[in-house]
Amino acid sequence: MENPLVYSVSVMHANLVRLENDLTALEAAGCGELHFGVMDGHFAPGFGPGFETIEAVRACCGLPCAAHLMVSDPGRYIERFAEAGCSSITVHVEACVHAHRVLNQIRDAGASPGIAVNPATPLTKLDYLLESADRVLVMTREPGAPGPPLIRAAFERIRLLNENLRYRKLGTRIEAGGELDADHAALVANAGATIIECGRTAIFDGRNPGEALEAFRDAVAARRMTV
C-alpha cells in the first residue's frame, strides 16, 4: 500500500499577526506538518526562522514541526532545534562534512533525520546515506532563492530516487521541496514523492489557510489523474 501524501506547509510566508488562528485552521484541515526552512545567509540567502519561532508555534498548536536546515555545518544546531520541538530535522548533504554523523546526531536527539539534496548535486551522493535517513528532500529550486524557475529535471530525479528506494526495499520517504503549485505537486507525487512542501501561493494567499489547504489537496488529487 502506498504512503498517503503528507502536506508540509511552510510557515515562512504566514501572516504573523494572525498566526495562531491560521495554525488552528491548518490543524483542523488535516495539515500533515509545519515546514520551517531555516537559512543562515551563507549556505542559502536569507535568514531565520529561529528557535524562538518554532517554540512559539509549538506552544499554540499540536502540529508536528519539521526543520529544513539550509545552513553551513548544521551539526552545531541539531540539539537546539530538537529542544525547540522539531520532530523532524533535515540537513543538506552539501553542508555536511560527515553526513552519517549528523544524521545519527539527529536521531540521538529524538528527532527523525532527513537529508536534502540541491538540484545540481548528483543523486549518487546519497547512496550510502539512504539507510540512515527517514526522508530525502529533493529540491526543485535552488535553496533560499526567491522566485527562481522550477528545475524540471527534479521530476526525473524523484522518479530515479524512488526506483532506487524500491529496489533496495527501503522505507525512506521522498519530500519535494520548493513551494510547489498543484500541477507540479501532482507531477512529483506521481514520480514518487509522498511529502509535498507548499505555502507561499497555495496556502497563504489571503484565504483561510485551512480552506486553501483543502482546495490545494483536492486540486492535486484531480491533477494526478491527468498528468
Q: Does residue 118 carry a pLDDT above 90?
A: yes
Among the ranges given (8-22, 23-37, 77-91, 161-175), the one the predictor scored with the smallest mean pLDDT: 8-22
**pTM for this one?**
0.94
Percent of the chain residues topping a pLDDT of 90 = 79
pLDDT in tens, 171-218: 999 999 887 889 999 999 999 999 999 987 889 888 899 999 999 999
Domain of 110: which CATH number?
A: 3.20.20.70
pLDDT in tens, 124-170: 999 999 999 999 999 998 887 665 567 889 999 999 999 999 999 99
Residue scoring higher pLDDT (227 or 34): 34
5 grid coordinates: 501524501
Q: With respect to residue 212, please indicate whether it lies within any of the assigned structural domains.
A: yes
Domain housing 137: 6-224
Model pLDDT, residue 206: 81
Model pLDDT, residue 1: 44
Q: DSSP class of residue 125?
A: G
- List phi, psi (to 5°) of 153: -65, -15
Amino acid identity for residue 95 in this structure? A
Q: With respect to residue 1, please indicate whether it lies within any of the assigned structural domains.
A: no
- Nearest-10 Cα torsion for 215, 217, 221, 227: 90
Model pLDDT, residue 147: 56
Pairwise CA distance, residues 67 & 55, whole Å: 12
CB neighbours (10 Å) of residue 97? 8
Model pLDDT, residue 179: 79
Over residues 28-34, the mean pLDDT reads 96
Q: With respect to residue 112, please indicate whether it lies within any of the assigned structural domains.
A: yes
Q: With respect to residue 97, please indicate whether it lies within any of the assigned structural domains.
A: yes
Over residues 95-107, the mean pLDDT reads 97
Provide the domain count of the chain. 1
Pairwise CA distance, residues 140 & 118, whole Å: 8
Over residues 21-37, the mean pLDDT reads 95
Model pLDDT, residue 48: 79
Confidence of residue 2 (pLDDT cuts 50, 70, 90): low
Model pLDDT, residue 146: 60
Pairwise CA distance, residues 143 & 41, whole Å: 11
DSSP string, 169-208: T---EEEEES---HHHHHHHHHHT--EEEE-TTTT-SSS-
Element (H, E) at 224: helix 209-224
Model pLDDT, residue 148: 56
pLDDT in tens, 41-71: 999 988 878 899 999 999 989 999 999 999 9
Q: With respect to residue 101, please indicate whether it lies within any of the assigned structural domains.
A: yes
Over residues 28-47, the mean pLDDT reads 93
Q: With respect to residue 159, please indicate whether it lies within any of the assigned structural domains.
A: yes
Pairwise CA distance, residues 159 & 140, whole Å: 13
List all residues 6 or more positions away from 221 whose beta carbon is below 8 Å from its beta carbon.
none
